[in-house]
Structures are given as structure tokens and as C-alpha cells.
């Protein structure tokens, strides 16, 4: 089937709207002469005041100035001393003003400051420089004394003006800064800067900038192209060139050459072979440039033959199966659109750039792509993802935080599909704070997060982590209560009663009130150990909290305070003992499981604090083996928890001696008698080697 036919019709003809252009520019722009009337003009050159020289030079200029030229006069610094606002347009610009300007110049009495920049601005405004071409001729003998930035002001005038130009003449100026200011005023507006040091140079400079050069015709070559900068078209074209509403010139052929004065023009051409029209505007500059001015007129290319394009919507990839359901196609080209229904569809289209959109009605999804039609038939395939399978989840409307609930489900049941639970509206990994794989059964067990609030149970497809179904569930708070003594001796074991959810691996812990992280529980016991359960008290006295923690996220759901009081002990032992001997040590203390009495060097640290030890469960007094190295030692009572020492006694270990009496010789293999003296510690022995 052939569709989108209006693209063929739309491409058959391209109409180019005519462009409006202004009439040719006038040769003589409106002009104001800005004359320095500041006090420095009383200075002399060769014995003659500069103001007198200026009067004579301006008079000479006016003698040869065209009477129909629009000319005005602005003067500054001629009325008041020290006033930067002393600027006056003495003669408004217009024709026939030469005598008035001459009289005004002869009457200037210099006395004030030099606001030359603001005077140029005032002259530009008098010339309506934002509406018409305007020229200002400034004659000044000194540095700007009012406006801080002549360059910035000149740039503003140039940007705001239609065709604004400021010519500047520095009269008897030697200050480098003043010369730079004047040069900048001229450069920023496209004007000329001249320096004059006497009457003759001032006359030459004024004459040079005031004379408008006669227009120079420019050779203009009109050419036809299919794109800007492209090759010229070799086709028969009828040309018409016009300047505004004035008459112009006609021509014919692929190109057209003519001579034109400065101004704005419009050229229009009609291609003979198909009647296609095109137009362009151009400007001939006032100053002729070397060579001819090339004007390109862009014509549409002739309509090419249509090309067959096949459109297909497929599933999963370009080689996947065709979408069987109705597909609505929308084709966009050159601002126009057309539709067709089917899959596939075949179209005859002109070469060009297109965009096509396929809407799969059954799934309510669409795909788009851009493509280019050249001279060869082609196919355009739009690929859709496989349809999302149906799924559902069912679970309780409410659930206690941290509990395990049953969830029923239906869906594709992929090996890595899973049922997750997360906050309502969550994104990313939070959509499934806890989850169970669908392969775990139906219904399956799902652990509820410990935080309360609105949640969603979700069926999540492993491919793309896509959510196929949801069910809301409100998670209600979970809490616990604890009972325990208000005080306990450091290192002791207390009983703690509790109520709570008793989730797997929930536990009761004890820790300091300001603790964070795992320090929240210095000691703990799992709730599965019973009720009440045994909890070991820390060895450091102080204020503590007993807390019920859920295994999930280690959340505190109940706690009570407890004060841990100091634990005491005493040690009774001899002040001295022989090295290697065994002594009796009496003691009092908590006798916690695995508490022990140890002996070690006075300055020992860590486990070297007990070179030998005996558990307190051995009784009181107990037997303690003395180290073999003489010196100063300490006997300490150690708590099993944290190896904390809670009592100690000093002891001095004295050297031990022994003697041996035996024959000096003996027959090999014989038995001899050996006499000895010594400590006779258990398992001491006499050996020969």
C-alpha cells in the first residue's frame, strides 16, 4: 500500500516569500560639528589664540560646504566655569544652517571644562542617531575632564546607532592620555582621528573628515545555488533586481552581472524549467572593494523521484517477530505529518530526513526513530520490548514491624523473580528492603521491615528489575518492655525479664547512654535464652541502659536504666615467698565464674600481669605458684570480664638455693647415692647429664 502521499505533493514546489528592503542609503548623513569652547582654547599657537584659529578654519570650511547638507553645531564649556553640563546644541542640524553656524562660532567665548564625551552623546541624540545615519565631527584641544570612560560611551553609541560615526580632531594636543581618548572615540564608532597643531593642519583635517566621498559603483555578480556556499546552478533563470520601490535591472541566464551604487537591494529569480522562485537581499557597501560582490540566491533542488520504504514493528530485536496487533504509524517530514495503520506498511517517499513513530495499540506503548531516505529502497524497523507479563501479589493489609508474613503471588515465576517490600513510592534499592524469591514457594514468607508506615509489597521481575504488581500494607509499630534491678554490682550477672516479639536473633543488651554503634551493647543475651534471661553487667561503674534490640537493623524497641556500682575484693598473702614455691592466698570478692587470682611483675602489662594464676572457684585460701625469678611482684584479683583487676597485694620473691653431695667418680652404669638440700617443691628432681 502507498501512504503519506501528501509528502510527494508538499515536496513538488517550494515558495520563497519576498523580503522587504530599505531604499538606497543617502550619500550625505546628517552631521553636527562639536566645537571645544573650554577655557584652554584661549591658549596660543604662534601668538594667535586657538579659538581665533578655529573660527577662521570653520569659516573656510563653511564657504565650501554644500548648502543642502544637514549640518548643526554643538558647543561645550562656553558659558560657565567648572560645569560639566555646559553643553549646548547651538544650531539644530538641517539644511541652510551655514550662516547661523558661522555666526555662532564667531560668538564663542571659551571659559569652562571639557565634557567632550557627553557633548558627542548630546550631538548624537540631536541627530536621532538611533533612527537615522548620523555623523559627529569633534574638535577638541584637551583631555576629557568629566566623563570617566570615553571608550565605553563610544561603544554604546556604536551599538545603539543605525550608522553612527564620530570623527575626532585633536587640536594642539600633546598629552598621550588625551590623544588615546580621542583615538578611542573615533575607533569605536568607525570614524577617523586626526591631529592638528596649527591652522593649516586643522583646515586639512576638518576638510578631510567633512567631505562625503562620491559613491563608487560596485560590480555585483548574482548567482543561483541550491545551498549557501554550494556550486552555481547551470539553469535558465529570469532575474529582477530592485532597490526598494525604485526601478531596477532585469537579466537572464545562470548568472547575472551588473554595476550598482551603495545601498540595499533585493534580487528575485524564476527558474524556467519548473517555475521555482527564490529571492535574496543584499547590501552594496559605500566603499568599493576589489573584485565583484557575489550574491547567492538559494533555489530549491528539483523534486527527486520517490523511493520505496518499508516500515516494520518487531519484538525484542530487528530479527524478532512482527508485532501482530494493530500498529499506528505517524510520519513527520518538513513540518507535515501523516498516519497509517498496519504492520508492515510500504510507502513511496522523496529523499530527505524523516521521523517515524509506531504506536502499539494493545500495549499502549510507542517507539520513535529518525531516518534518511536516499535513492535506494530501504526498510525501517522499530523494536519493542517484550510485553510485560501479568502478575499479582496478595498479603495482609497490616503487619507488625519486623514480623514475617505470608504473601501469595501470581506471575511469570522466573528463577530470579522475587517478592519485595519497601516504602510506598520508593525507588532504586529501597523498593525491596527485604525480599524472598518466588522459587521459595507460594505463598512465601516475607520479612517485614522494622520501620513503621505505608509500605508496598511488590512482584519484581529479575530482568530489568521491573515491578509487575504491587499491594499496599501498613506496617504498625513493634515494642518491648523490660524489668531488671535498678542497681547491680560491676561484673555481676543479673536476671532481666522482658516482653517483646522474640524475633529470631533478637537480644537484650547493656551499654552506656551516650554510646553509638556496636557500643550500644557491651554485653548481650539472645531473647531465645529464656525469660527472665541472664545478662552480664559491665565492669566499669556508672549509668547504663538495658535495651531490647531487634536483630533486623538493630532497632531499639524498649529500654530501662540501671546503675552499675563498684565491686570490691581483698587479698591476704605473705609479704615474701621463695621463688618457685607455692603459697596460700586468702581473698574476698564477687567470685564470678572464671574470676582468678594472678601474680605478676609490678610493672607488667596485659596478660603478663599474671605469670601464674588460680581460679577463685578453687576456694579461699587457694594455692598460688610463685614465679622462679626473684623480684617485686603483685598478687591481683582479676574479674574474668575484661580482665579487670579489683584488688591487689605486693609480695617480694626471694631467691631459692640448693646443695648436692655426690662422689667425684662413679663406674658407668652403677647407682650412686646423692645427698641434697633445697625447697623440695612438688615434682622438683635431681638429674645427671
**Alpha-carbon gap, residue 58 to 52, rounded angstroms:** 10
For residue 344, the model assigns a pLDDT of 93
Confidence of residue 110 (pLDDT cuts 50, 70, 90): confident
> Given its phi and psi angles, is residue 594 left (phi above 0), alpha (psi -120 to 50 degrees) or beta?
left
Task: Give mean pLDDT, residues 499-527.
Answer: 94
> Given its phi and psi angles, is residue 51 left (phi above 0), alpha (psi -120 to 50 degrees) or beta?
alpha
For residue 26, the model assigns a pLDDT of 42
* Cα 276–chain centre separation: 50
Dump pLDDT digits (tens) for 564-578: 999 989 999 999 999
DSSP state string for 398-428 = EEETT-EEEEEEES---TT-EEEEEETT--G
Tell me what the pLDDT averaged over the chain comes to. 87
Cis peptide before 101 (omega within 30 of 0): no
Dump pLDDT digits (tens) for 190-228: 888 888 888 787 788 787 777 655 556 788 889 999 999
Residue % of the chain over a pLDDT of 70: 93
Residue % of the chain over a pLDDT of 90: 50
For residue 287, the model assigns a pLDDT of 59
Cβ atoms of 329 and 311 closer than 8 Å: yes
> pLDDT: is 397 or 113 the higher one?
397
- Residue position matching grid coordinates 561503674: 541
Cis peptide before 344 (omega within 30 of 0): yes
CA dihedral 283, 287, 290, 291 (to 10 degrees): 30
What is the pTM for the complete model shown? Answer: 0.44
Dump pLDDT digits (tens) for 383-405: 998 887 889 999 999 999 999 99
Task: Report long-range pairs for 628-634 (Cβ below 8 Å, ≥24 apart).
Answer: 628/579, 628/580, 628/656, 629/579, 629/653, 630/579, 630/654, 630/655, 631/601, 632/601, 632/602, 633/599, 633/600, 633/601, 633/602, 634/599, 634/600, 634/601, 634/602, 634/609
For residue 556, the model assigns a pLDDT of 95
Dump pLDDT digits (tens) for 644-665: 999 999 999 999 989 999 999 9
Dump pLDDT digits (tens) for 465-503: 889 999 999 999 999 999 999 999 999 999 999 999 999
**Most confident stretch, 59-63, 269-273, 530-534:** 530-534
Confidence of residue 247 (pLDDT cuts 50, 70, 90): low
Cβ within 8 Å of residue 683, ≥6 positions away? none
Amino acid at each position: 500500500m502507498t501512504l503519506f502521499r501528501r509528502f510527494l505533493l508538499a515536496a513538488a514546489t517550494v515558495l520563497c516569500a519576498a523580503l522587504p528592503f530599505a531604499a538606497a542609503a543617502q550619500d550625505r548623513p546628517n552631521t553636527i560639528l562639536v566645537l571645544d569652547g573650554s577655557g584652554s582654547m584661549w591658549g596660543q599657537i604662534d601668538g594667535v589664540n586657538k579659538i581665533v584659529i578655529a573660527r577662521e578654519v570653520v569659516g573656510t570650511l563653511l564657504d565650501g560646504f554644500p548648502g543642502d547638507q544637514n549640518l548643526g553645531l554643538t558647543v561645550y564649556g562656553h558659558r560657565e566655569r567648572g560645569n560639566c553640563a555646559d553643553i549646548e546644541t547651538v544650531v539644530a542640524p538641517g539644511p541652510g544652517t551655514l550662516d547661523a553656524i558661522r555666526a555662532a562660532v564667531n560668538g564663542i567665548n571659551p571659559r569652562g571644562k571639557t565634557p567632550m564625551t557627553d557633548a558627542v552623546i548630546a550631538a548624537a541624540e540631536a541627530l536621532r542617531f538611533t533612527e537615522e545615519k548620523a555623523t559627529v565631527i569633534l574638535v577638541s584641544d584637551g583631555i576629557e575632564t568629566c566623563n570617566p570612560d570615553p571608550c565605553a560611551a563610544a561603544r554604546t553609541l556604536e551599538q545603539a546607532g543605525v550608522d553612527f560615526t564620530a570623527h575626532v580632531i585633536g587640536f594642539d594636543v600633546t598629552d598621550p592620555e588625551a590623544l588615546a581618548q580621542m583615538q578611542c572615540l573615533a575607533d569605536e564608532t568607525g570614524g577617523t582621528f586626526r591631529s592638528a597643531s596649527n591652522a593649516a593642519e586643522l583646515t586639512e583635517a576638518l576638510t578631510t573628515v567633512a567631505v562625503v566621498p562620491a559613491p563608487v559603483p560596485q560590480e555585483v555578480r548574482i548567482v543561483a545555488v541550491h545551498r549557501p556556499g554550494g556550486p552555481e546552478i547551470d539553469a535558465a533563470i529570469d532575474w529582477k533586481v530592485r532597490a526598494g520601490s525604485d526601478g531596477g535591472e532585469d537579466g537572464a541566464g545562470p548568472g547575472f552581472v551588473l554595476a550598482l551604487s551603495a545601498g540595499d537591494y533585493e534580487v528575485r529569480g524564476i527558474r524556467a524549467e519548473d517555475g521555482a522562485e527564490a529571492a535574496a537581499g543584499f547590501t552594496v557597501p559605500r566603499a568599493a572593494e576589489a573584485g565583484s560582490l557575489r550574491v547567492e540566491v538559494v533555489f530549491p533542488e528539483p523534486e527527486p523521484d520517490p523511493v520505496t520504504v518499508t516500515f516494520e514493528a518487531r519484538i525484542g530485536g530487528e530479527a524478532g517477530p512482527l508485532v501482530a496487533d494493530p500498529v499506528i504509524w505517524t510520519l513527520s517530514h518538513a513540518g507535515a505529518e501523516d498516519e497509517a495503520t498496519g504492520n508492515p506498511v510500504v510507502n513511496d517517499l522523496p529523499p530527505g530526513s524523516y521521523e517515524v513513530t509506531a504506536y502499539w495499540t494493545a500495549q499502549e506503548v510507542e517507539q520513535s526513530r529518525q531516518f534518511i531516505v536516499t535513492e535506494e529502497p530501504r526498510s525501517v524497523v522499530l523494536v519493542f520490548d517484550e510485553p510485560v507479563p501479568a502478575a499479582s501479589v496478595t498479603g495482609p493489609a497490616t503487619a507488625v514491624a519486623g514480623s514475617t508474613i505470608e504473601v501469595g503471588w501470581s506471575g511469570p515465576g522466573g528463577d530470579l523473580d522475587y517478592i519485595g517490600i519497601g516504602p510506598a513510592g520508593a525507588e532504586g534499592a529501597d523498593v525491596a528492603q527485604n525480599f524472598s524469591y518466588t522459587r521459595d514457594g507460594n505463598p512465601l514468607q516475607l520479612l517485614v521491615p522494622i520501620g513503621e508506615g505505608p509500605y508496598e509489597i511488590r512482584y519484581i521481575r529479575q530482568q530489568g528489575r521491573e515491578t509487575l504488581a504491587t499491594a499496599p500494607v501498613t506496617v504498625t509499630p513493634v515494642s518491648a518492655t523490660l524489668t531488671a534491678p535498678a542497681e547491680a554490682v560491676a561484673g555481676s550477672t543479673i536476671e532481666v525479664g522482658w516482653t517483646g516479639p522474640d524475633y529470631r536473633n533478637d537480644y537484650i543488651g547493656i551499654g552506656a547512654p551516650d554510646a553509638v554503634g556496636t557500643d550500644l551493647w557491651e554485653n548481650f543475651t539472645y531473647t531465645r535464652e529464656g525469660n527472665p534471661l541472664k545478662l552480664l553487667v559491665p565492669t566499669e561503674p556508672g549509668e547504663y541502659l538495658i535495651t531490647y534490640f531487634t536483630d533486623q537493623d538493630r532497632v531499639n524497641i524498649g529500654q530501662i536504666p540501671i546503675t552499675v556500682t563498684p565491686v570490691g575484693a581483698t587479698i591476704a598473702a605473705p609479704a615474701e615467698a621463695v621463688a618457685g614455691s607455692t603459697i596460700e592466698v586468702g581473698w574476698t570478692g564477687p567470685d564470678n565464674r572464671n574470676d582468678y587470682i594472678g601474680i605478676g611483675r609490678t610493672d607488667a602489662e596485659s596478660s603478663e600481669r599474671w605469670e601464674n594464676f588460680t581460679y577463685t572457684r578453687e576456694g579461699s585460701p587457694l594455692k598460688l605458684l610463685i614465679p622462679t625469678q626473684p623480684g617485686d611482684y603483685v598478687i591481683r584479683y582479676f574479674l574474668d570480664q575484661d580482665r579487670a583487676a579489683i584488688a591487689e597485694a605486693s609480695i617480694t620473691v626471694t631467691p631459692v638455693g640448693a646443695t648436692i653431695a655426690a662422689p667425684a667418680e662413679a663406674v658407668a652404669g652403677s647407682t650412686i647415692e646423692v645427698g641434697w638440700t633445697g625447697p623440695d617443691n612438688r615434682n622438683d628432681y635431681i638429674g645427671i647429664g
